[in-house]
Each structure stands twice: as C-alpha cells, then as structure tokens.
Chain A
Amino acid sequence: MTRREFVLKNQLAELDRLAEGLGDFCLRQGMSEEEFADVRLAVEEAVSNTIRHGYEDRRAHRIRIRAAMKDGELRLEIEDDARAFNPLEALLPELDLPVEQKPIGGLGITLIRAVMDRVEYRRSRGKNILRLVRRAGRK
C-alpha cells in the first residue's frame, strides 16, 4: 500500500499546495487526469468547507489529509479539529428548482457524494474524520 500525508493550515491559500501534492500522488498511482479532477473536487469541497465554516476561533489549526492506494481504491481521510460536522446528515439542496429558488450554498456535499464511491464520517477524540473512497478506473 502506498501512502502520503498532507498537513495544511486552516487557510484557503493552502488548497493549491494540496491540489498539487494530491495530483502528484494520484497520477503516480495510475489514476487518470479525469479521476484526479474528481478527487480534487471532493477534497477541496470538504477542506474549504471546514476552513470557511468549521472554526469558532481565529487560531491556527491543522488539517491532516491521508491518502492511500490499496486494492485499486484511493482511500482518503480528512481529519480536523473543527466543530463537529457530519456531512452525511446535512440536508442536500433540491437541484431541480427554477433558478430563482435554486440554492447557491450546500452544493459541495452534493458534489462530494456524486464523485466518490463511498463517504463515511466519524467523530473521534474531538476530531472530525471524513473518509472518502474512490475506485481507480471507475467509469
């Protein structure tokens, strides 16, 4: 099993560095550019949501992203010490509404669930742990 860990500060500017590192990892593991774009989308939605909405103070926090490729699956764990938030319990926005009523927020979770094969969440020792799984070679 090949692994890589990324540690970010809770700043949006860190997302570029994450995308670069994650891209390098995914492509070396044989994922296509298209598959990596899905992975980048899911991770970016999750991490940016944590950075923008998860913290009640202005202190520096660390967000850990662990990536592993095993049995043809990319397994990602995003761990943060933000307030508890289970994206699987969040209400998904209705998408087939007329544009006037369409929600602008809340689309990130819809995107994560659409591009990942599995999404799991647990709260452990004051931390959110979001697990994302994406099969390589998925059509």
Chain B
Amino acid sequence: MPPKVNVEDRAGGAYVLLQPEGAIDATTYTLLGGEVEAILKRATVPTLIIFNLDRVGFVSSAGIGVVLAAEKSMKAKGGKALLVNLKPHVRKVFDIVQALPAQQIYNSVGELDAYLAEMQRQVREGPPG
C-alpha cells in the first residue's frame, strides 16, 4: 500500500488529527514529517497534534523521529503531540525508546475523545476544584 497521510482539523483548528497509512520508515517518514511541518507553519498553530496510527503496521526510528520532533516543537509552543490506536508492535517500538510519556498515548479514539472533552470543559469552566 503506498504511504498516505490524511489530515483533519477538529474543534475549529484547535487540534489536528494526522492519520498515516502503511509503514513509517526510512523511505516514507518525510511524507508525515512534511505534514507536521506544514501544521507548525500555520498562522495559528493548534494546541494538539494527534497521530492516529490505526492504519500503521510498522514504524522504525525514522517514524519515531517525526513524532519526537513534533512533540518538541509543540511543547515549545505550549501544545503537545498525542498518539492513539497503536498496534502492538508499533507500541512496543515507541515504548523501547520511551518516545512519549504514557499519558500521551491513548488506546482508542473513545479514550482520546474523553480526554479532549475534559480539556474543552476545563477551558470553558476552569480546572476542577
């Protein structure tokens, strides 16, 4: 399957969902990296970049590098990168190199949506307590 990345703005551009397909390796990582760079160059950078990896069967250190670079850039701008729907081997690779804290990795879109709903509630009403 040729590599492909779907890009979807959510919540009026507050966060962007990236959904790559196929392998993210030394030959394909530039495609995903290019999409991340384009997002970071926007006039208004989103608060979150979410990598939905449900269609990714293989990731190498080149793919990890794209996510790490996104997290570094987002953190410098007050945002962060999140990962969702990692297949077991892809999760294993991220875990070996401790790429992102466990709190930034979600098992399902449902789990991620609950986090995003809570985040939006806090923006509207302030933090709990």
Q: Enumerate chain A interface residues (CB-CB to B < 8 A).
A: 12-13, 15-16, 19, 34, 37-38, 40-41, 44-45, 48, 51-52, 95-96, 99-100, 102, 104-105, 107-108, 110-111, 114-115
Contact = CB atoms under 8 A, between A and B. Distances in A.
B107 interface: no
Interface residues of B, number: 24
B83 interface: no
Given A95-B98, A104-B68, A45 B61 contact: yes
Contacts of B72: 99-100, 102, 104
Contact of B27 (A12, A40, A95): A12
Nearest to A14: B27
Interface stretch (B37-45, B89-97, B114-122): B89-97
B66 to A, nearest CB: 9
Contacts, number: 62
B97 A48 contact: no
Contact of B97 (A19, A40, A111): A111
B88 A34 contact: yes
Tell me the dominant secondary structure on chain B's binding face. helix
B112 interface: no
B32 to A, nearest CB: 14
Given A44-B25, A100-B72, A105 B97 contact: no
B29 to A, nearest CB: 10
A133 B76 CA distance: 41
A105 B26 contact: no
A100 B71 CA distance: 9
B62 interface: yes
